[in-house]
């Protein structure tokens, strides 16, 4: 390797510098020096020549200028001396014009002059130019093969307004050389009014934007120019001619071309399309509207915007449908915004701002509107009784509600509500119950708040005697609560069913409203038989859930009882529960049983009125306000702030835990904006209706089975012991017996046991008093289950709503 | 007939000659100056009845000429300014400095004479 590399170096070393002859070098030096000198010589020569020429021209211009001035301003009225000078100058100029250079000089002078002067002086220049036949020289230039000379000739002829040269110039309109072509186009248009027609008819080449502007400027400066109807060229094969014609139509406001422009909105070229739409908008061509609507979807954004601009100007209300349709389909943000603005232009207020709007304000308004349906009984109570301080309502009701809304999530809301609100309270209550074993007849449901307080107020308002109170409690409450107790029983059964299935079962809040009074002191046989306890009237409070029995005057008591009955505001009850209710209470029997006892006519009348009211007043004919209560559903509130997916999930939940009131709510949901929600609501409605029907059938089967086996009936109705509470038999008894019968009748017992349905089926149903600790314990166990929690939640929410 | 002396300051020889010829024909004794120096020299020795000056001139612009005449020489000779179109700033400056009238290019010689006559009448 090393040897090879050395060889290489050796070879390089053998290279020698070529020998150049010195003489040759010197020769080359002389040659290039001579060329340099020659180059500079020519430069100086031509520079001097040009300078001399310009000096000569300037000198000649100086000489010619006064001559031209004399020629320009010569008048026939001049003096003889001036006329003689004019003739001499004329002869001199003729001599000068024999020389081509002089012609050039004079032409240049005249061209310069026509730039600096105006008015009559300029016209004289034009005239002189033609008189001196300088235009012939310019026309000769048009035959030159050199483009710059041809261009110069065209320019000269155009500037000096040589109209006779139009025929020579127009043939350059379609010249291959761009500069000559453009100059010829401007020249043709400038020289004659027909030039523009010829140009638009014959031009085959593209017309640049700049050229169009120049031509437009020329046309503007043409004196006495009457523009032709440019719509003729809208059908040209040259796209630029069409475009230029559109611009000319727009410039000269040729409204008659409006209809001819309509087909151009379908032109392939967007520039032509845009220009046509703009013209149509400017000329208010309504006929183009439908065509524009047709092409809208296939257009680009710019064209769409232009079409929308057109519709903003010429749109009518009948176009709103089209705009709304395209608004739904359009994905481009700009176009969509434009559609909104057009909609609002055509019909102000169609689109209102939605983004960055404070939704809390809307929610507040919604809440305000939702507060309207307040239960009738509550309203009556509120009217009769003083409300608790507002501050308490606000602080407890609203804030608590809001906090719940904030905290709750869909999965654990039952537990959370319970933990937040009731766990401690329930524990306290249960502890108290354990300690106070003497209050065994009281259900552990007295934490339900509203009705007890109201009743208390009622008692206080009337300021009754102790006797009245007792009767009030005994008769008034029991009669008043007949219906409510039935509902309570129903609810209890539902609760038990729910627990049995270990499912979250909604308790009918409406029914609970009815029940609210039903867990007040329950009058049992034992209690009635007990010796009445004398109590200080001041200490009487229904909140304390105690029952006091005292002997009373029947007349007054019955009067009070009737009065209370007449005041009854029947709670809205679901239709499904109506038949059983009607069957369970024999209103005729009550009237008849009371009739022999009552001697005073007013009381008798009242009794009749009451029974008639109760009988004839169908519960489904409740006022609208009450009806709205019927469709109250906890899902309604959730639905309000939910999106589409949440709604669908909630619908599933309705199917799982829904009751009959949810059916009504589902009816409302069927009209939801979202199609999928509507469809699902219908499905859920059908399924829920079926499941509820099945449940009802099961209940009826159980009841019929029990009836057949001679067991006391518990069907959600007051339990009337056979032979004891038979109201029909009351009238046939003696006064004492009647009294007893009435007491027995009013002594409606409830099955408060928490046995399951299976247990019920297996055992004979006896009225079980909640004095035993077993049910209480059971309740504690059960209360931790979801169904019970859910019930509590409902009650709480109902309470909040009522308070609010 | 009273001779009215007119100083025409115009650097364009052709236009100057044309206007000069036309003004002379209208009865003015015209002195044509090609640049600012010539104007200065003439004004140091003569007092024309009216001065017609182009704004754009070598050595001495029309604006400077007005300032020179009004503030340096203290003359109240009527002055008419010739300017090309689109030179509004200069025209306004000229009026602020004391120009009596303005005529745009291209000039109509007849119009120029009419303006001169009017300016002279006001004096």
- Ramachandran assignment for A224, one of left (phi > 0), alpha (psi -120 to 50 degrees), beta (any other): left
- Predicted confidence band of residue A143 (pLDDT cuts 50, 70, 90): very high
Question: Does the pLDDT at position A732 exceed 70?
Answer: no
* pLDDT score recorded for residue A199: 95
* pLDDT score recorded for residue A193: 92
* pLDDT score recorded for residue A368: 54
**What is the chain B residue with the closest CA to A69?**
B18
Question: Does the pLDDT at position A480 exceed 90?
Answer: no
- Predicted confidence band of residue A445 (pLDDT cuts 50, 70, 90): low
CB–CB contact A118 B22 (8 Å): no
Domain assignment present for residue A774? The answer is: yes
**What is the chain A residue with the closest CA to B84?**
A116
* DSSP alpha helix (H) spans, A118-221: 120-131, 134-141, 147-159, 166-169, 178-191, 195-202, 209-221
**What is the chain B residue with the closest CA to A72?**
B18
Pick from A94, A110, A132: which residue ends a domain? A132
CB–CB contact A121 B105 (8 Å): no
**What is the chain B residue with the closest CA to A75?**
B25
* pLDDT score recorded for residue A508: 44
Numbered residues of chain A with Cβ closer than 8 Å to any chain B Cβ? 61-62, 65-66, 68-70, 72-73, 109, 112-113, 115-122
**What is the chain A residue with the closest CA to B82?**
A116
Domain assignment present for residue A220? The answer is: no
Considering only CB atoms, A117 lies closest to which of B13, B25, B107, namely: B107
Predicted interface score ipTM higher than 0.90: no
Mean pLDDT in chain A? 69
Question: Does the pLDDT at position A357 exceed 90?
Answer: no
Q: Which helix (H) or strand (E) holds B101?
A: strand B101-105
Pick from A132, A157, A180: which residue ends a domain? A132
Using DSSP bridges, classify how beta strands B101-105 and B79-84 pair: parallel, antiparallel or unpaired: parallel
Domain assignment present for residue A481? The answer is: yes
Average pLDDT over residues A594-613: 51
pLDDT digits (tens, 9 = 90+) for A274-307: 999 999 999 999 999 999 999 998 899 999 999 9
Nearest one of A508, A389, A377, A402 to A454, comparing CA atoms:
A377
Task: Provide, as residue numbers in chain A, all residues whose Cβ is less than 8 Å from the Cβ of B111.
Answer: 119
* pLDDT score recorded for residue A560: 55
Considering only CB atoms, B17 lies closest to which of A69, A115, A119, namely: A69
Average pLDDT over residues A410-436: 65
CB–CB contact B109 A122 (8 Å): no
Task: Provide, as residue numbers in chain A, all residues whose Cβ is less than 8 Å from the Cβ of B30.
Answer: none
Considering only CB atoms, A113 lies closest to which of B18, B25, B108, namely: B18
Task: Provide, as residue numbers in chain B, all residues whose Cβ is less than 8 Å from the Cβ of A122.
Answer: 106
Contact A600, A555 (CB under 8 A): yes
**What is the chain A residue with the closest CA to B23?**
A73
Domain assignment present for residue A203? The answer is: no
Question: Does the pLDDT at position A172 exceed 90?
Answer: yes
Separation in Å, CA of A114 to nearest CA in chain B: 8
Q: Which residue has the higher pLDDT, A89 or B113?
A: B113
> Considering its fold, how many domains does chain A have in total?
2
Q: How far is CA A586 from CA A97, A471, A763, A789, A802, in A?
A: 139, 22, 28, 36, 32
CB–CB contact A73 B109 (8 Å): yes
Residue-range domains of chain B with CATH: 4-122 (3.40.50.2300)
Contacts with A553 (C-beta within 8 Å, 6 or more apart), sequence order: A467
- Ramachandran assignment for A659, one of left (phi > 0), alpha (psi -120 to 50 degrees), beta (any other): beta
Separation in Å, CA of A120 to nearest CA in chain B: 7
Question: Does the pLDDT at position A142 exceed 90?
Answer: yes
Verify cis geometry, omega within 30 degrees of 0, for the bond prior to A616. no
User: Which of A35-49, A582-596, A615-629 is modeled with the greatest confidence?
Assistant: A35-49
Counting residues of chain A whose pLDDT is more than 70, the rounded percentage is 52
CB–CB contact A117 B21 (8 Å): no
- Predicted confidence band of residue A483 (pLDDT cuts 50, 70, 90): low
Question: Does the pLDDT at position A150 exceed 70?
Answer: yes
Question: Does the pLDDT at position A708 exceed 80?
Answer: no
Task: Provide, as residue numbers in chain B, all residues whose Cβ is less than 8 Å from the Cβ of A111.
Answer: none
Considering only CB atoms, B18 lies closest to which of A117, A118, A119, namely: A117
Task: Provide, as residue numbers in chain A, all residues whose Cβ is less than 8 Å from the Cβ of B25.
Answer: 73
Q: Which residue has the higher pLDDT, A558 or B31?
A: B31
CB atoms within 10 A of CB A224: 5
- Residue A764: domain span: 369-803
Domain assignment present for residue A303? The answer is: no
- Predicted confidence band of residue A187 (pLDDT cuts 50, 70, 90): very high
Domain assignment present for residue A477? The answer is: yes
Report the sign of the C-alpha dihedral through residues A70, A71, A76, A80, in that order. Answer: positive
* pLDDT score recorded for residue A21: 85
Domain assignment present for residue A185? The answer is: no
CB–CB contact A122 B106 (8 Å): yes
Q: Token pair of A123, please?
A: 């016209």
CB-based burial, A623-648: b 16+ in 10 Å, e otherwise = eeebebbbbbbbbbbbbeebeeeebb
Q: Which residue has the higher pLDDT, B47 or A749?
A: B47
Pick from A74, A106, A132: which residue ends a domain? A132
Average pLDDT over residues A439-455: 49
Task: Provide, as residue numbers in chain A, all residues whose Cβ is less than 8 Å from the Cβ of B15.
Answer: 113, 116-117
Residue A74: half-sphere exposure toward Cβ, Cα within 13 Å: 21
Separation in Å, CA of A45 to nearest CA in chain B: 28
Domain assignment present for residue A682? The answer is: yes
pLDDT digits (tens, 9 = 90+) for A228-273: 999 999 999 999 999 999 999 999 999 999 899 999 999 999 999 9
* pLDDT score recorded for residue A799: 57
Helix axis angle, A100-116 to A147-159, nearest 10°: 50
* pLDDT score recorded for residue A705: 64
Q: Which helix (H) or strand (E) holds A372?
A: none
Contacts with A620 (C-beta within 8 Å, 6 or more apart), sequence order: A575, A578
Surface-to-core class of residue A215, CB atoms within 10 Å of its CB (0-12 exposed, 13-18 middle, 19+ buried): buried
CA A86 remoteness from chain centre: 89
Q: Number of residue pairs across A and B with CB atoms under 8 Å?
A: 57
What is the DSSP code (8-state) at residue A803? H
CB–CB contact A118 B107 (8 Å): yes
Considering only CB atoms, A69 lies closest to which of B12, B18, B110, namely: B18
**For A285, phi and psi rounded to 5 degrees?**
-85, 95
Tell me how many degrees the CA angle A633-A637-A642 measures, rounded to the nearest 5: 125
* pLDDT score recorded for residue A215: 96
**What is the chain A residue with the closest CA to B83?**
A116
Contact B30, B53 (CB under 8 A): no
Nearest one of B10, B3, B4, B7 to B83, comparing CA atoms:
B10
User: What does the DSSP assignment read for A604-661?
Assistant: HHHHHHHHHHHHHS-GGG--HHHHHHHT--HHHHHHHT--HHHHHHHHHHHHHH--HH
* pLDDT score recorded for residue A411: 52
């Amino acid at each position: 390797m090393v040897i090879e590399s050395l060889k290489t170096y050796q070879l390089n070393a053998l290279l020698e510098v070529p020998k150049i002859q010195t003489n040759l070098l010197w020769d080359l030096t002389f040659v290039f020096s001579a060329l340099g000198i020659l180059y500079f010589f020519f430069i100086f020569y031509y520079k001097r020549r040009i300078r001399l020429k310009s000096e000569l021209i300037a000198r000649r211009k100086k000489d010619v200028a006064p001559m031209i001035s004399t020629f320009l301003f010569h008048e026939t009225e001049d003096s003889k001396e001036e006329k003689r000078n004019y003739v001499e100058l004329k002869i001199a100029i003729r001599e000068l014009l024999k020389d081509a250079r002089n012609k050039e000089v004079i032409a240049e002078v005249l061209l310069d002059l026509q730039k600096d002067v105006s008015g009559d002086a300029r016209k004289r220049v034009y005239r002189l130019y033609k008189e001196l036949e300088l235009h012939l020289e310019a026309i000769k230039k048009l035959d030159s093969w050199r483009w710059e000379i041809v261009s110069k000739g065209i320019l000269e002829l155009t500037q000096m307004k040589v109209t006779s040269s139009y025929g020579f110039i127009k043939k350059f309109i379609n010249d291959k050389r761009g500069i000559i072509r453009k100059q010829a186009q401007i020249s043709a248009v400038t020289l004659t009014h027909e030039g523009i027609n010829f140009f638009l008819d014959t031009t085959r080449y593209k017309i640049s934007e700049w050229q169009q502007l120049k031509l437009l400027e020329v046309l503007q400066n043409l004196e006495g120019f009457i523009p032709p109807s440019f719509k003729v060229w809208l059908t040209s094969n040259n796209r630029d001619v069409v475009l230029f014609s559109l611009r000319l139509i727009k410039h000269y406001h040729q409204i008659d071309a409006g209809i001819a422009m309509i087909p151009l909105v379908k032109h392939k070229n967007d520039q032509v399309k845009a220009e046509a739409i703009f013209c149509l908008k400017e000329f208010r061509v309504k006929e183009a509207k439908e065509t524009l609507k047709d092409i809208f979807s296939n257009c680009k954004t710019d064209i769409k915007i232009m079409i929308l601009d057109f519709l903003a100007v010429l749109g009518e209300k009948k176009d709103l449908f089209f705009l709304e349709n395209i608004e739904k389909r359009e994905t481009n943000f700009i176009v969509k915004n434009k559609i909104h603005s057009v909609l609002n232009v055509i019909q102000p207020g169609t689109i209102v701002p939605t983004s960055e709007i404070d939704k809390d304000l809307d929610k507040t308004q919604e809440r305000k509107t939702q507060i309207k349906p307040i239960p009738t009984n509550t309203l009556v109570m509120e009217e009769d009784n003083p409300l608790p301080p507002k501050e308490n309502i606000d602080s407890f009701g609203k804030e608590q509600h809001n906090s719940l809304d904030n905290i709750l999530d869909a999965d654990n809301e039952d537990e959370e509500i319970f933990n937040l609100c009731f766990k401690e309270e329930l524990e306290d209550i249960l502890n108290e119950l354990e300690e106070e074993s003497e209050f065994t007849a009281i259900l552990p449901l007295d934490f339900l708040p509203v009705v007890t307080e109201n009743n208390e107020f009622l008692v206080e308002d009337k300021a009754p005697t102790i006797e009245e109170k007792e009767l009030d409690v005994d008769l008034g409450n029991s009669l008043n609560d007949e219906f409510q107790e039935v509902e309570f029983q129903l609810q209890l059964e539902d609760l038990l069913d729910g627990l049995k299935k270990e499912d979250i079962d909604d308790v009918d809040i409406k029914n609970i409203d009815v029940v609210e009074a039903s867990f007040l002191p329950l009058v049992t046989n034992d209690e009635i038989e007990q010796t009445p306890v004398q109590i200080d009237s001041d200490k009487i409070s229904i909140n304390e859930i105690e029952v006091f029995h005292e002997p009373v005057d029947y007349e007054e008591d019955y009067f009070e009882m009737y009065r209370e009955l007449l005041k009854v505001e029947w709670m809205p009850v679901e239709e499904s529960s109506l038949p059983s209710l009607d069957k369970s209470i024999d209103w005729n029997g009550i009237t008849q049983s009371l009739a022999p006892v009552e001697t005073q006519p007013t009381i008798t009348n009242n009794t009749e009125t009451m029974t008639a009211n109760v009988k004839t007043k169908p519960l489904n004919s409740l006022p609208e306000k009450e009806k709205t209560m019927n469709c109250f559903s906890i899902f309604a509130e959730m639905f309000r702030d939910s999106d589409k997916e949440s709604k669908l999930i909630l619908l599933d939940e309705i199917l799982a835990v829904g009751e009959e009131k949810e059916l009504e709510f589902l009816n409302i949901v069927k009209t939801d904006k979202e199609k999928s929600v509507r469809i699902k609501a219908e499905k859920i409605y059908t399924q829920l209706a079926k499941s509820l029907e099945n449940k009802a059938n099961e209940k009826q089967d159980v009841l019929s089975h029990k009836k057949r086996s001679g067991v006391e009936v518990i069907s959600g109705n007051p339990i009337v012991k056979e032979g004891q509470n038979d109201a029909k038999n009351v009238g046939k008894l003696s006064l004492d017996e009647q009294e007893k019968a009435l007491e027995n009748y009013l002594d409606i017992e409830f099955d408060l046991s928490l046995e399951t349905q299976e247990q019920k089926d297996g055992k004979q149903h006896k009225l079980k008093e909640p004095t035993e600790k077993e049910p209480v314990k059971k309740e504690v166990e059960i209360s931790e289950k979801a169904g019970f929690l859910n019930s509590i939640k409902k009650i709480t929410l109902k309470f909040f709503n009522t308070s609010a | 007939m009273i001779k009215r002396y007119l100083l025409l300051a115009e650097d364009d020889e052709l236009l100057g000659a044309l206007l000069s010829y036309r003004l002379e024909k209208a009865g003015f004794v015209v002195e044509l100056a090609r640049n600012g120096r010539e104007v200065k020299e003439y004004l140091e020795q003569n007092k024309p009845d009216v001065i017609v000056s182009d704004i754009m001139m070598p050595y001495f612009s029309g604006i400077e000429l007005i300032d020179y005449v009004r503030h340096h020489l203290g003359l109240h000779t009527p002055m008419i300014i010739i300017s090309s179109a689109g030179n509004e700033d200069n025209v306004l400056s000229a009026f602020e400095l004391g120009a009596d009238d303005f005529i745009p290019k291209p000039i109509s010689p007849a119009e120029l004479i009419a303006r001169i006559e009017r300016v002279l009448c006001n004096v």
